[in-house]
Amino acid sequence: MNWCGRYVLVTGAGGFIGSHLTEQLVTLGAKVRAFVRYNSRNDIGLLALLPASIREQLEISFGDLRDSEAIEQAMRGVEWVFHLGSLVSIPYSYLHPYEVIETNVLGTLNVLLAARKCNVRKIIHTSTSEVYGTAHYVPIDEKHPLQGQSPYSASKIGADKIAESFYRSYELPVTIIRPFNTYGPRQSTRAVIPAIICQTLSQNEVFLGALDPERDFTYVDDTVEGFLRIAEASDAVGQEFNLGTGEEITIGDLAEKIVSLIGREVTIRTDPDRLRPDKSEVRRLLADNRRARDFLGWMPKVSLDEGLQRTIEWFRSHITWYQVREYQV
């Protein structure tokens, strides 16, 4: 599809995946309205790291997902909606479950209501592999049971089901995208790969939570390509799509791989403060990406080693922006 001149809304545009998606949409010629959570500093989040030539083409809309009027105003006149806005930290959801559930569930409801009222052409709702909980079987396909093992994952299950209900009840053109552990430049150190990289680059000890969980890591450029393919696919409406590589690695082995790529001598330690409650820790996530491959022609292109090397080089150049010694909740 030719994105040139298309009017697009991206909620959560100031976040990690959102900023990369926004950058790519502008590069492709789309007219992008970026919805960013209001703050008194007019801080546009990670959009501030985009090249000036990209930022100058953005229309920034400040507000809060919980404010239905703000969402409706931001959606007027757009054709496509990429809904990425949410509170995404699992540890934060332990501390403030009300805020997380209200933002993720009520915020998604507001997006869907506004999309219905504004007659948008398609809504891509962003889910997460965390909704599956610890795998009952692998690889995990879209029919896998959903299990709320944290307030965050429960909030995303709720948001997914509301999106599904709007498709079934009102024929709203919604598609659910479910990325598995996306990583890459700009990501917060609350995520494990940036946490490992930044600690390895700047100190002699790396502090992590549990080392035995297994994850399926997807480089951010591949995830963004999945968003675009879903938006362009006419037969994707009403469906859910996993975006993952179909390969897994334990957190401990991942840490050793990153340390080896950086080439420093460090000690990897388990920090009790970073451990999740035992019944809440998701032990294994491994994607079955066949539906995305068959329907969308999507396959990840960036290997874990290549993606890690790109990410390491970016963080090496931006390490002073991060508070490495603090555990980011």
- Which domain CATH number covers 99? 3.40.50.720
| Residue owning tokens 């479950």 | 97
**Mean pLDDT in residue range 63-84:** 97
**Mean pLDDT in residue range 287-305:** 97
Residue 143 corresponds to which amino acid?
A: K
Q: What is the pTM of this model?
A: 0.97
Residues 317, 216, 157: CA angle, nearest 5 degrees: 105
* Gap between the Cα atoms of 34 and 11, Å rounded: 6
| Residue owning tokens 């709320």 | 148
Give residue 161's pLDDT: 98
Give residue 324's pLDDT: 78
Band of residue 260 on the pLDDT scale cut at 50, 70, 90:
very high
Overall domain count for the chain:
1
Band of residue 73 on the pLDDT scale cut at 50, 70, 90:
very high
Give residue 328's pLDDT: 79
Range with the poorest average pLDDT among 69-83, 258-272, 312-326: 312-326
Does residue 212 form part of some domain? no
- For residue range 175-187, list pLDDT tens digits in order: 999 999 999 999 9
Give residue 40's pLDDT: 87
Give residue 81's pLDDT: 98
Does residue 260 form part of some domain? no
Alpha helices for 65-141 (secondary structure H): 68-75, 90-95, 97-101, 107-118
Give residue 234's pLDDT: 85
Does residue 239 form part of some domain? yes
Percent of the chain residues topping a pLDDT of 70: 100
**Mean pLDDT in residue range 145-153:** 98
Does residue 256 form part of some domain? no
Residue 164 has pLDDT above 80, yes or no: yes
- CA quadruple 234, 235, 239, 242: dihedral, nearest 10: -80
Band of residue 321 on the pLDDT scale cut at 50, 70, 90:
confident
Does residue 28 form part of some domain? yes
Does residue 192 form part of some domain? no
Give residue 323's pLDDT: 82
**Mean pLDDT in residue range 189-218:** 96
* Gap between the Cα atoms of 238 and 157, Å rounded: 16
Quote the domain boundaries for residue 156.
Answer: 7-183+219-246+286-302
Cβ pair 120, 33 in contact under 8 A: no
Does residue 154 form part of some domain? yes
* Gap between the Cα atoms of 276 and 28, Å rounded: 41
Cβ pair 120, 79 in contact under 8 A: yes
Q: What is the mean pLDDT of the chain?
A: 97
Does residue 110 form part of some domain? yes
Residue 326 has pLDDT above 80, yes or no: no
Percent of the chain residues topping a pLDDT of 90: 95
- For residue range 3-47, list pLDDT tens digits in order: 999 999 999 999 999 999 999 999 999 999 999 999 989 899 999
Residue 316 corresponds to which amino acid?
A: R
